[in-house]
Chains A and B, each alone.
Chain A
């Protein structure tokens, strides 16, 4: 299991390539990566992601451990960036490896749902007409109830 919090961009291909490499007992790998989405009006200049150093690593580790406990997984990777990003930049990724795909898919969704509202990150969007904090969505909180 690996949990990584970093400012610099990550090499998605290299992470996917090395994840669970050489494990002949695992037949399924699911990866997800999140990208900074431009707004509908195309005015987003950049986004700043703030986090709580220390708590972030603890929260991500707790979430990853919970996924390992609930599903039969051979490995888990959670990587999340902070700092300045622009539309199209990769913000984060998760990867799960399991014997069978169902565990890998479900665990990846669980990780994403928990990352959304239980990992201490906050996004601020900067556009030509000003800056604003991204508000949490009630849907994101509701998504936790299914687990």
Chain B
């Protein structure tokens, strides 16, 4: 499957881009993260502590265990600081 993967805040800075197309056979978010980390060091650095990260699937907050069935857009970011 091809996904739109988005990065925000320091995740974007560490990976070095805001958005990219990612092709992966992973069935869960965690599987996709493992694929990315295996690609290049900058991904492994950004995802070194996923407890410090949040994920949204098609613009809804989700979890790293969530399945990717039917998902088009995946976003990774640190805990939000609105208000």
In the complex, are the beta carbons of A52 and B82 less than 8 A apart?
Answer: no
Tell me, in angstroms, the Cα distance from A112 to B83 when the chains sit together.
7
Given the complex, which residues of B lie within 8 Å of A59, measured CB to CB? 59
Tell me, in angstroms, the Cα distance from A123 to B81 when the chains sit together.
6
Is A99 interfacial (CB 8 A cutoff)? no
Given the complex, which residues of A lie within 8 Å of B8, measured CB to CB? 50, 52, 120, 122
Given the complex, which residues of A lie within 8 Å of B45, measured CB to CB? none
Given the complex, which residues of B lie within 8 Å of A64, measured CB to CB? none
Interface size on B, residues (CB 8 A): 16
Interface size on A, residues (CB 8 A): 26
Tell me, in angstroms, the Cα distance from A50 to B82 when the chains sit together.
10
Binary CB contact string for chain A from 125 to 142 against chain B (1 if under 8 A, 0 otherwise):
000000001111000010
Total A-B Cβ pairs within 8 A: 68
**Set A50, A55, A115, A141: member contacting B9, Cβ < 8 A:** A50
In the complex, are the beta carbons of B78 and A55 less than 8 A apart?
Answer: no
Given the complex, which residues of B lie within 8 Å of A91, measured CB to CB? 83
**In terms of DSSP, what is the predominant structure of the interface of chain A?**
mixed
Given the complex, which residues of A lie within 8 Å of B60, measured CB to CB? 55, 58
**Set A58, A115, A123, A135: member contacting B59, Cβ < 8 A:** A58
Tell me, in angstroms, the Cα distance from A25 to B33 when the chains sit together.
52
User: Which residues of chain A in 96-117 are interfacial with respect to chain B, using CB atoms and an 8 Å cutoff?
Assistant: 112, 115-117
Name the residue among B10, B59, B75 with the largest chain A CB count within 10 angstroms: B59
Name the residue among B77, B81, B82 with the largest chain A CB count within 10 angstroms: B82
